[in-house]
Structures are given as structure tokens and as C-alpha cells.
């Protein structure tokens, strides 16, 4: 064989080897997801509901996906700090955000100078709902939500209600209830539930919406009275309590918690996250752990999650416009 013939044979053999190696890979130019650590950012301090959900779900995702899942708390500015960090990361599914829907429902309606657009963030998987409970101080002579409505109507401007901050779900839930029932109460904003709860226990405010875990102990000790939930249906945490939807048709301000990614994340990666997240949310031990912290599983994929947030955004925008709430 001549030198040129041997060279041509070598090139042909090399081409076959390269073609074979490409054919055995998942897809040309594509890497199997995940193949490195996944970061779940939370825009709240450790211990809050989104943080708790992220840690419970993150551990199970780690087991199922075979890669480390780490939690990174990035609190500040009503989740805007965490959203900025998400949008500064590559759109590859390795940096995700676990939070409630306020980043796409409340913030765009509340802030005129928001540094991101709604379509910059992709809803990936809805995980759960975390209904809030209407609680009153024992000095309020009302044992039921009906009695409270009558009591508040007869005393316009005389009752103070607390919230975890301007534009929070706690705040908007109360304003939506007030607008629907024609109640007049004075808003006293606090820096989180950690400040608002002591104010309620001390009688400095009369009314508050808060999550079940922060209220259940005080309710058992008869330091507060629970009257209703802000969700569309009764909560398994306290099935004897009515939902406000029983008094106000269509009322539902219970926060939804889910996983978000940067827009542009490859569909195959999004689908992988959805598949694994929904599988986790159907595990009986996960359901039990979430129930302890007052969270109800409500698993849904990207399309359905987005539809839920669109409805929530419309409902929130109506309240913000009607009441004239402006973010700072």
C-alpha cells in the first residue's frame, strides 16, 4: 500500500470512530442534566415557609437526581435581590429560585421601577399552597368570622390590623377582605411576622393574617382566636374553620410556592425538573413534613403553574389599584 493510500485509510478509520462516539452520546452538543450541583435560592431568611419547602424538597431532589442540591438564602427587597441573582446566572437549570408567586403577581403591580420583567422569569413547577389564617385578639368579642364581620362593620376605623409588610400577601389579603365586605380597618405594617405576632399577642393590634404554625400554639393557649382562612377552600390544618370564599365568592389569596428558573432555560431541562419535583411532592413523607409547617401540597407543571400565577396577578392588581397601594 502506498503512503497516500495508507493516509486515506487512516482518515476514513478516524472518521468512523468519531461518528461512532457521537452516535453513542445523548445528543450531539448536549449534556445530560444534571451533571453538577444545583442551587436553590430562597428570597427569605432561613426558617420561613419558602425556605422550609426548599429544604424538604431539595433533599428529595438530591436523592432522585444524583447531584448535590444546596440552599442559598438571598433575602431583601421583596425578593428582588434573589430575582436579580437568578437573572445574573446562566439559563441552564443549575440556579433556581424557590419562593411564592409574588415575584410575578405582586411585585409587577406594586413597583413601577421593577428591575425585571415578568417574562424574564419562568415558572417551572408549583409545589404547594400555604394558606393564611385570620386571627383576632381575645379582647375582640367575636367567636366566628360572621360575628367578626358584624363587629368590624359597626366600628369603622377602630380596629388595627397588622401585616408582615406593605404589599405582602398578609396585607393584600386583609385589604381584599375589607374591600369585599366594606370594612374599614387601619393597617399597621411590621418587618415580618416575627414582629407582627407579638403585637397581636400583646393586644397592640386586633387582627392579623398569618400562617398556621405561627398561630396554632397561641390558639391552643387561647391567646388568639382563629376565624377563617384566606384560601378558596377549608384547610386540612383546621377543617372546622371556614374559608373566606364561603363569605366572599371567588376569594383566594393563599400563597403558592414553587420553583422558578431564568427564562431561556432549555425545555428538556425544565421538563426534567418538573418530572422530579412532582414525583417528590407525591411522596408520603414529604406530605407529612409539609403538613407540620402548614403547607398543603399542590403540585403542577410549568404551564399550569403559569396559569395559576396569571389569575393571581389579576386578582392582586385589582386590589392594589382599588386601594392605591404603592411600593417603595
pLDDT digits (tens, 9 = 90+) for 95-132: 999 999 999 999 999 998 899 999 999 999 999 999 99
Question: How many whole angstroms separate alpha carbon 161 and alpha carbon 209?
Answer: 9
Asked if the domains 38-130+255-323 and 132-246 are classified in one and the same CATH topology, the answer is: yes
CATH architecture of structural domain 38-130+255-323: 3-Layer(aba) Sandwich (3.40)
Specify the pLDDT at position 27: 45
Question: How many whole angstroms separate alpha carbon 126 and alpha carbon 220?
Answer: 31
Query: What is the SS3 assignment for the chain?
Result: CCHHHHHHHHHHHHHHHHHHHHHHCCECCECCCCCCCEEEEECCCCCCHHHHHHHHHHHHHHHHHCCCEEEEECCCHHHHHHHHHHHHCCCCCCEEEEEECHHHHCHHHHCCCCCCCHHHEEEEEEEEECCEEEEECCCCCCCCHHHHHHHHHCCCCCCEEEECCCCCHHHHHHHHHHHHHCCCCEEEECCCHHHHHHHHHCCCCCEEEEEHHHHHHHHHCCCCEEEEECCCCCCCCCCCCCEHHHCCCCCCCCCEEEEEEECCCCHHHHHHHHHHHHHHHCCHHHHHHHHHCCCEEEEECHHHHHHHHHHHHHHHHHHHHHHCCCCC
Query: pTM for the complete prediction?
Result: 0.86
Specify the pLDDT at position 31: 59
Question: How many whole angstroms separate alpha carbon 104 and alpha carbon 96?
Answer: 15
Q: Domain limits of the chain?
A: 38-130+255-323, 132-246
Give the chain's mean pLDDT: 89
Judging by beta carbons within 10 Å of its beta carbon (0-12, 13-18, 19+), is residue 305 exposed, middle or buried? buried
Residue 276 burial (CB count, 10 A): 18
11 pLDDT higher than 60: no
CATH number of 132-246: 3.40.190.10
The torsion region of residue 201 among left (phi > 0), alpha (psi -120 to 50) and beta comes to alpha
Specify the pLDDT at position 244: 96
Residues 6+ apart with CB under 8 A from 47: none
pLDDT digits (tens, 9 = 90+) for 214-244: 898 999 999 999 999 999 999 988 999 999 9
pLDDT digits (tens, 9 = 90+) for 283-296: 999 999 999 888 99
Instruction: State the Rg of the chain over Cα.
Output: 25
Question: How many whole angstroms separate alpha carbon 220 and alpha carbon 199?
Answer: 18
In the chain, the percentage of residues whose pLDDT exceeds 70 is: 90
Question: How many whole angstroms separate alpha carbon 18 and alpha carbon 131?
Answer: 56
Amino acid at each position: 500500500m502506498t503512503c497516500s493510500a495508507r493516509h486515506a485509510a487512516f482518515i476514513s478509520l478516524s472518521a468512523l470512530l468519531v461518528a461512532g462516539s457521537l452516535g453513542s452520546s445523548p445528543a450531539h452538543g448536549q449534556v445530560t442534566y444534571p451533571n453538577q450541583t444545583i442551587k436553590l435560592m430562597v428570597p427569605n431568611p432561613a426558617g420561613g415557609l419558602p425556605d422550609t419547602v426548599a429544604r424538604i424538597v431539595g433533599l428529595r431532589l438530591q436523592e432522585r437526581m444524583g447531584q448535590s442540591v444546596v440552599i442559598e438564602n438571598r433575602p431583601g427587597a421583596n425578593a428582588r435581590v434573589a430575582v436579580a441573582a437568578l437573572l445574573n446566572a446562566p439559563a441552564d437549570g443549575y440556579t433556581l429560585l424557590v419562593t411564592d408567586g409574588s415575584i410575578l403577581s405582586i411585585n409587577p403591580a406594586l413597583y413601577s421601577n421593577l428591575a425585571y420583567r415578568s417574562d424574564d422569569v419562568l415558572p417551572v413547577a408549583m409545589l404547594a399552597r400555604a394558606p393564611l389564617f385570620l386571627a383576632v385578639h381575645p379582647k375582640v368579642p367575636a367567636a366566628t368570622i360572621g360575628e367578626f364581620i358584624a363587629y368590624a362593620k359597626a366600628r369603622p376605623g377602630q380596629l388595627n390590623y397588622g401585616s408582615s409588610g406593605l404589599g405582602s400577601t398578609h396585607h393584600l389579603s386583609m385589604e381584599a377582605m375589607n374591600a369585599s365586605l366594606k370594612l374599614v380597618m387601619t393597617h399597621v405594617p411590621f418587618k415580618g411576622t416575627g414582629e407582627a405576632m407579638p403585637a397581636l399577642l400583646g393586644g397592640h393590634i386586633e387582627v392579623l393574617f398569618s400562617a398556621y404554625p405561627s398561630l396554632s400554639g397561641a390558639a391552643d393557649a387561647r391567646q388568639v382566636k382563629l376565624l377563617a382562612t384566606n384560601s378558596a377552600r377549608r384547610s386540612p390544618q383546621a377543617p372546622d374553620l371556614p374559608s373566606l370564599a364561603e363569605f366572599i365568592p371567588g376569594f383566594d389569596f393563599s400563597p403558592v410556592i414553587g420553583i422558578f428558573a431564568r427564562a431561556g432555560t432549555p425545555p428538556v431541562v425544565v421538563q426534567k425538573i418538573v418530572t422530579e419535583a412532582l414525583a417528590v411532592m407525591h411522596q408520603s413523607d414529604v406530605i407529612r413534613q409539609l403538613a407540620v409547617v402548614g403547607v398543603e401540597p399542590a403540585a403542577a407543571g410549568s404551564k399550569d403553574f403559569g396559569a395559576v400565577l396569571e389569575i393571581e396577578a389579576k386578582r392582586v392588581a385589582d386590589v392594589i389599584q382599588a386601594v392605591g397601594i404603592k411600593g417603595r
